[in-house]
Amino acid sequence: MKLLVPIKRVVDFTVKVRVKPDGSGVDLDNVKMSMNPFDEIAVEEAMRLKDSGVATEVIVVSLGPAVCQETLRTALAMGADRAILVETDAELEPLAVAKTLKQIVVKEEPQLVILGKQAIDDDSNQTGQMLAALLDWPQGTFASKLEVAGGKATVTREIDGGLETLELPLPAVITTDLRLNQPRYTSLPNIIKAKKRPLDSFKIADIQADTEPRLKTQKVEAPHPRKAGIRVNSVEELLTKLREEAKVI
């Protein structure tokens, strides 16, 4: 079984982002970048399926500038067999990403696509669902548990009312939630070995996919700073503040 895992290079989750002075976007100069945490979980789950003998090959793919090779090398250090970089300097919307991934899926013919439920830079939570729709494949989103056997994938997902279990015929698309697993530590020897693993790179223009943007960012603003809190000495004073200033009662 072949698995395909799309990954994205994003601002590291420990970094406090800054907005550019002209409001055109987020300032990425000298900012630490890393693999999207949800995608890292997807890579880990793919490696666990391979370690258990369910999968035979894990391919990771990323869309972005040449520097995304660093993120792909991280996935290779985790144990992925091959990496594909679709090189582009354009900012791709979820639909454009899904259309591009569809073409790669058609070429590679994986039995399972595992990707993070969302990227922490835009939080769109759309690519996995769009990819499944374009492929006309069954999908299991927000997976907190995944089992693959007998040509089927059993996905447990958290919903408002508790847990929901889905059984999907393969091929299928799975998106990962935080509770699915804990990604493994990448050792130095594996990082060194990853530099020798195959990494194919080609331009996005080589793929027959419509990646024209349909949205335009008008302006980006930082959140307004929160006002300092106040202390009250009694319940009566609290109720007065809520009634007169907050106007919530």
Q: Name the pLDDT band for 94 (thresholds 50, 70, 90).
A: very high
pLDDT class of 86 with cuts at 50, 70, 90: very high
- Domains observed in the chain: 2-246 (3.40.50.620)
Reported as a pLDDT band with limits 50, 70 and 90, residue 248 is low
- Contacts with 74 (C-beta within 8 Å, 6 or more apart), sequence order: 34, 35, 186, 191, 194
Q: Model confidence over 175-205: pLDDT tens digits?
A: 999 999 999 888 888 888 888 888 888 898 8
Q: What percent of the chain has pLDDT over 90?
A: 57
CA distance 185 to 74: 10
Q: What is the pLDDT of residues 16-26, one digit of tens each?
A: 888 888 887 88
86 has which bridge partners?
A: 63, 202
Gap between the Cα atoms of 249 and 25, Å rounded:
39
DSSP 13-56: TTS---B-TTSSSB--TT--EEE-HHHHHHHHHHHHHHHTTS-S
Greater pLDDT, 30 or 110:
110
Choice between 30 and 180, residue whose per-residue pLDDT is larger: 180
Q: What is the pLDDT of residue 168?
A: 95
35 CB neighbour count, 10 Å cutoff: 26
Average pLDDT along the chain: 90
Distance from C-alpha of 72 to C-alpha of 85, rounded to nearest angstrom: 8
Q: For residue 153, what are the contacts with CB-CB under 8 A and spacing of at least 6?
A: 112, 140, 146, 147, 167, 168, 170, 172, 174
Confidence of residue 60 (pLDDT cuts 50, 70, 90): very high
Contact 128, 175 (CB under 8 A): yes
Picking from 50-54, 84-88, 128-132, 182-186, which range would have the lowest pLDDT averaged per residue? 182-186
pLDDT tens digits for range 101-153: 999 999 999 999 999 999 988 889 999 999 999 999 999 999 999 999 999 99
pLDDT computed for residue 249 by the predictor: 66
Whole-number pLDDT of residue 113: 97
Indicate the SS3 state at residue 165.
strand
**Is residue 194 within 8 Å of 81, Cβ to Cβ?**
no
